[in-house]
Amino acid sequence: MTKKKILVVDDEPGFTRLLKLTMPRYEIKEENDARQAMDTAKQFRPDLILLDVIMPWLDGGDLASSFRSDWSLRHIPIVFLTAIVKTGEIGGSERQIGGFPFLAKPVSTDSLTRCIEEHLGV
């Protein structure tokens, strides 16, 4: 069985490396430079994108818009991972930023696994 592919775009290499180590059932590609994320996504062809909001050079919102504007990437689910918004600060059960679901950092492995499974339909 082929592993589902997840692209993690975050400027903190320690965080992306930790995700890769704690989620061995997925093929995870790390991208720590947001400026390279479009090219990486096109080459890697992920099933899901986990995207930090605040990064140098290019923020997650702009990058998410770029993914949605590209015909080959627009169908890929995007989940924001952010430390700037806490789960309780967003009202309602939707927990979205700019129309995309988010998880607040630090995120537990259990919460992240549930979120990934939900968005990958597994």
Q: Which CATH number is 75's domain given?
A: 3.40.50.2300
> What pLDDT does 101 receive?
85
> Residue 84: left if φ>0, alpha if ψ -120 to 50, beta else—which one?
alpha
Q: Give the model confidence (pLDDT) of 37-58 as tens digits.
A: 999 999 999 999 999 998 988 8
Q: Give the model confidence (pLDDT) of 1-24 as tens digits.
A: 789 999 999 999 999 999 999 999
Contacts of 47 (CB under 8 A, 6+ apart): 4, 5, 6, 76, 77, 120
Q: Give the model confidence (pLDDT) of 66-101 as tens digits.
A: 999 999 999 999 999 887 755 555 444 446 566 788
- What range defines the domain where residue 67 resides? 5-120
The count of structural domains within the chain is 1
Q: How confident is the model at residue 108 (pLDDT cuts 50, 70, 90)?
A: confident
